[in-house]
């Protein structure tokens, strides 16, 4: 296998793992799914990680492999215990089978294992793990976080919805996400996080005005 093959393989595998759960949450009448939250999340983490790599450098193989493997034990919304540890274990045991450069496997496993580690706990030497950490959290900020909030609603059918409730949730979500802005490892991530939060703030502000009838 060459370099492209390992990426093709782990991408296809994540598409399958996530689709199996997505068909239960977002079913179409013909047995497919009309949305796949986790796959969209990982694709966005890849976009953010590639952007960040351009800005701060780093080993692309390690970062992109870690992106596609970090949430393989959290295929949709449920938060299983130790999903980072399980994924890191998979990396150590199976990533070599895909043709991925063996000398980089430890670094992938480390980044995957630490992707939900406490704020500011990664040393500077763990550059690629820091890139994944920032990209994974950046993805949760901005207007797309609102899209996610609405898109995952079918998973919680017991939660009654109306515009007022949606705006209340959007406000809470914004307050929670705002706290992350200063906690990213890289200054460019903080900058991008602030932009996304500002856009989200404008959006929530306008929704509140509309609902208040002013």
Among 48, 71, 134, 173, binds Fe ion (CB under 5 A): 71
Nearest distance, CB of residue 73 and Fe ion, angstroms: 9
Binding footprint of Fe ion, residue count (CB under 5 A)? 2
Residue 48 engages Fe ion in binding (rule: CB under 5 A): no
Binding piece for Fe ion, criterion CB under 5 A, among 68-76, 117-125, 148-156, 194-202: 68-76
What mask, x for binding Fe ion by CB under 5 A, covers residues 107 to 136?
Answer: -----------------------------x
Nearest distance, CB of residue 162 and Fe ion, angstroms: 30
Assign 3-class secondary structure to the chain.
CCHHHHHHHHHHHHHHHHHHHHHHHCECCCCCECCCHHHHHHHHHHHHHHHHHHHHCCCHHHHHHHHHHCCCCCCCCCCCCCHHHHHHHHHHHHHHHHCCCHHHHHHHHHHHHCCCCCCCCCCCCCHHHHHHHHHHHHCCCCHHHHHHHHHCHHHCCCCCCCHHHHHHHHHHHHHHHHCCHHHCCCHHHHHHHHHHHHHHHHHHHHHHHHHHCC
Nearest distance, CB of residue 75 and Fe ion, angstroms: 11
Nearest distance, CB of residue 132 and Fe ion, angstroms: 9
Residues that bind Fe ion (CB under 5 A): 71, 136
């Amino acid at each position: 296998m060459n370099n492209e093959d390992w990426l093709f393989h782990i991408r296809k595998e994540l598409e399958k793992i996530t689709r199996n759960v997505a068909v239960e949450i977002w079913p179409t009448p013909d047995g497919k799914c009309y949305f796949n939250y986790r796959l969209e999340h990982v694709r966005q983490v890849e976009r953010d990680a590639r952007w960040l790599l351009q800005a701060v450098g780093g080993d692309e193989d390690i970062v992109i492999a870690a992106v596609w493997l970090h949430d393989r034990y959290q295929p949709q919304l449920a938060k299983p215990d130790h999903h980072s540890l399980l994924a890191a274990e998979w990396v150590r045991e199976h990533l070599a089978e895909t043709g991925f450069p063996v000398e980089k496997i430890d670094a992938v496993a480390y980044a995957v294992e630490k992707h939900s580690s406490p704020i500011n706990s990664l040393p500077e030497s763990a550059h690629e793990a820091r890139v994944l950490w920032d990209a994974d959290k950046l993805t949760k900020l901005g207007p797309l976080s609102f899209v996610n909030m609405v898109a995952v609603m079918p998973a919680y059918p017991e939660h009654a919805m109306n515009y007022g409730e949606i705006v209340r949730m959007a406000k809470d979500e914004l307050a929670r996400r705002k706290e992350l802005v200063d906690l990213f490892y890289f200054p460019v991530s903080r900058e991008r996080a602030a932009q996304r939060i500002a856009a989200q703030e404008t959006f929530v502000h306008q929704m509140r005005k509309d609902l208040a009838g002013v």
